[in-house]
Amino acid sequence: MLRPKTSTCLICSFRATRKVQQTSIQQWQSAAALSVKHLPSKTGRPARMSLAEARQVGAPTSKQEGASAPGRRRQDGPFGGMNLKEARIRGVPERRSEMQERRTSASGSRGREDAKGRSGYKALKMQRALAPVSYTQRALVKERIAAIDSFEQFKLLPSVQSSISTQALQGMTDIRPTPVQRIAIPALLGSENINRRSRSKASAPKREDFLIAAETGSGKTLSYLIPTINAVKLAEAADADIEAYEKELQEEKLRQNDFSLPSPPLSSMPHPTTGRPRAIILVPTSELVTQVGNLVKAFSHTVKFRSAMLSSSFSGKVIRNRLFSPKGIDIVVSTPHLLSSIADSDPNILSRVTHLIVDEADSLLDRGFSPLTQAIIDRANPSLKQLVLCSATIPRSMDSFLHKRFPDIRRLTTPNLHAIPRRVQLGVVDVERTPYQGNKNLACADQIWSIGKAAADHDGPVKGEMDVKRVLVFVNEREKAQEVAEYLVSKGIDALALSRDTPEQRQSEMLASFTSSVPLTGPKENHPGTLADNQPNYIPPGQAPPPVKRQLPNMKVLVTTDLGSRGIDTLAVRNVILYDVPHSTIDFIHRLGRTGRMGRRGRGIVLVGKNDRRDVVAEVKEGMFKGQALI
């Protein structure tokens, strides 16, 4: 049999599989047959086809060197398999490069570790509440975070830069950006060199969509606020309308000072931004309007811009005056309900918005709020340059919504997303056991008394005074909030109930002492001890409870629903009691997130009764202990 005279024998290289061998032999045989047919004949006539010289095997032909003929594969036809060093077999994946192999094995092993680590999450898996974030992605973000150490590294206007320490984080020393700020600020400022598919496709400036997702109490508000204020100031400097307005105002002032001219009336021309803000921040509740609005206001004193808080806590007149002030308005903080009702009557309100931030996006994009939030996004869309969604959790429902509605959204997530920090301890109290015998109210009161007693054992910072501890108690149903608060009061505890039933004005007052970072103190007195020392646990049926012997002097308690769990910055709260087991990991994260904020320590106590999911609680506790992301 005729064989080609070459060291890189075709058959040898085609040993990958049996099937491959057969195919190649067939091809080789048919090619050889043809070659034999066209070898120089005895008559000396030149052959039309012959085998290639050995040194030419595998060398590119003139055709191969250039672009291969379109639509024609190299292996097509009876000679397709000849003169090749490698078997280019269709359907068989190409060998991956060493680098690719290494990368996959690293992420694969991480993925396996991840799966192994979370295999214990049986009960949580049933809930499937949170969207997964791969550990590969988390590891990549860690590297980026490590490269940033100071706010000075961000390309900010000098006034914005200096206001971070003098206004936003006033009184703090050694200020550094938090992980979420290190990721989000450069991205929102556009100072990252990102070669994004969506950007390269369109040459015209396109709206940029971002999702900022980071653990509770990690400084997400500043992560979007700093770049937004910077953008507002840059836009103001480049705005021709504002320039013309300022010029006009200047000239009028000069004319007024010129006593030789008859004094003309000062221009009543409104500022170009009157009733048409550049940036809007949407938050779900009036409390958050106040919280975020106060931070914006603090910046406005030194950066010089105008901001307004709009919520149902303010009268219609106040809202109108703020929005349509002749001096203009740059940044508005509002709830979606109020803003959309204003936009219904005055659509121009959204006509110049370039930056729209949806804070607590997991709430504002869920079923209750979503139609309103989406309508605002749609209305603002023509002028919108940046849409920023911000959240402490990415529920699966929101994740799939984002994939559909904002497929190009850039996800800025921190390595610890969905993990409750280890510095927060979780204690579990079995309410069914002695001494509570199924009485959750009693268990709750007893825990609060115990916290109070432990706190009284330590002296406060001021002589003759003692610290007053703030405790948040979370219930699942709003009706329960009032009932639990009343019970706690009957046990000598200073407790209040906060739910949607509470008038808005009152809600803000109640939250004020829980959001203030100023330590609460009271006059030092002998502590009454534990609840058992002071109150009888069992009252025989038909007997009225005896009057409260002693009051618990060093505790302040707020019994609340989810209303108090979203976004409220309760820096000073060290203890959170979960009266009810939360419905999902999302609620666990938000409720426990009211303590242990910004690197502080915290303690959660969950009361587990007969009908509560003990398996869920056990898995959350284990996840917290391991520092793992919940699922």
Ligand X SMILES: Nc1ncnc2c1ncn2[C@@H]1O[C@H](COP(=O)(O)OP(=O)(O)OP(=O)(O)O)[C@@H](O)[C@H]1O
Alpha helices in 164-310 (DSSP H): 179-189, 197-201, 220-237, 240-257, 286-303
Question: Of residues 233, 278, 591, 597, which one binds ligand X by CB under 6 A?
Answer: 597
Residue 117: is it exposed, middle or buried by C-beta count within 10 angstroms (0-12/13-18/19+)? Answer: middle
Q: Cβ 544 to ligand X, closest distance in Å? A: 43
160 belongs to the binding site for ligand X (CB under 6 A):
no
Q: Cβ 514 to ligand X, closest distance in Å? A: 13
Give whichever of 222 and 630 is closer to ligand X, judged by the CB atom.
222
Find where tokens 């307005």 sit.
245
Residues in 215-244 that interact with ligand X by CB under 6 A? 216-222
Site string for ligand X, 250-279 (x = CB under 6 A): ------------------------------
Read off the amino acid at residue 629. A
Q: Which stretch binds ligand X (CB under 6 A): 263-271, 334-342, 532-540, 590-598?
A: 590-598
392 belongs to the binding site for ligand X (CB under 6 A):
yes
Question: Within 10 A of 495 (CB to CB), how many other CB atoms are there?
Answer: 25
Q: Which two tokens stand for residue 101?
A: 């192999």
Q: Cβ 567 to ligand X, closest distance in Å? A: 4
CB 81 within 8 A of CB 24: yes
Question: Of residues 20, 157, 235, 571, which one binds ligand X by CB under 6 A?
Answer: 571
Report the alpha-carbon distance of residue 471 to residue 485 in Å, rounded. 12
Cα–Cα nearest to 210, from 395, 389, 398: 389
Question: Of residues 4, 81, 177, 564, which one binds ligand X by CB under 6 A?
Answer: 177
Cα–Cα nearest to 303, from 230, 367, 410, 380: 230
Residues in 179-198 that interact with ligand X by CB under 6 A? 181
Give whichever of 261 and 598 is closer to ligand X, judged by the CB atom.
598
Q: How many residues does the chain have?
A: 631
Q: Cβ 232 to ligand X, closest distance in Å? A: 19
Question: Of residues 169, 375, 489, 548, which one binds ligand X by CB under 6 A?
Answer: 169
Sign of CA dihedral 304, 306, 310, 314: positive
Q: Which stretch binds ligand X (CB under 6 A): 61-69, 110-118, 502-510, 563-571?
A: 563-571
Q: Cβ 218 to ligand X, closest distance in Å? A: 4
Give whichever of 109 and 302 is closer to ligand X, judged by the CB atom.
302
CB 224 within 8 A of CB 212: yes
Q: Which residues pair with 470 in a beta bridge?
A: 556
574 belongs to the binding site for ligand X (CB under 6 A):
no
Give whichever of 149 and 251 is closer to ligand X, judged by the CB atom.
149
Q: Cβ 190 to ligand X, closest distance in Å? A: 21
416 belongs to the binding site for ligand X (CB under 6 A):
no
Q: Which stretch binds ligand X (CB under 6 A): 37-45, 212-220, 429-437, 621-629?
A: 212-220
Q: Cβ 141 to ligand X, closest distance in Å? A: 16
Buried b (16+ CB within 10 A) or exposed e, 1-26: eeebebeeebeebbeeeeebeebbee
602 belongs to the binding site for ligand X (CB under 6 A):
no
Report the alpha-carbon distance of residue 296 to residue 168 in Å, rounded. 9
84 belongs to the binding site for ligand X (CB under 6 A):
no
512 belongs to the binding site for ligand X (CB under 6 A):
no
598 belongs to the binding site for ligand X (CB under 6 A):
yes
Q: Cβ 288 to ligand X, closest distance in Å? A: 8
395 belongs to the binding site for ligand X (CB under 6 A):
no
Give 556's contacts (C-beta < 8 A, 6+ positions apart): 468, 469, 470, 471, 494, 513, 514, 520
Count of residues that interact with ligand X, criterion CB under 6 A: 21
Give whichever of 221 and 273 is closer to ligand X, judged by the CB atom.
221
Read off the amino acid at residue 293. G
Report the alpha-carbon distance of residue 292 to residue 301 in Å, rounded. 15
Pairing type for strands 465-467 and 521-523 reads antiparallel
Q: What are the distances in angstroms from CA 456 to CA 490, 529, 605? A: 21, 9, 19
Give whichever of 123 and 169 is closer to ligand X, judged by the CB atom.
169
Which spans of this chain sit near ligand X (rule: CB under 6 A)? 169, 172, 175, 177-178, 181, 214, 216-222, 392, 567, 569, 571, 593, 597-598
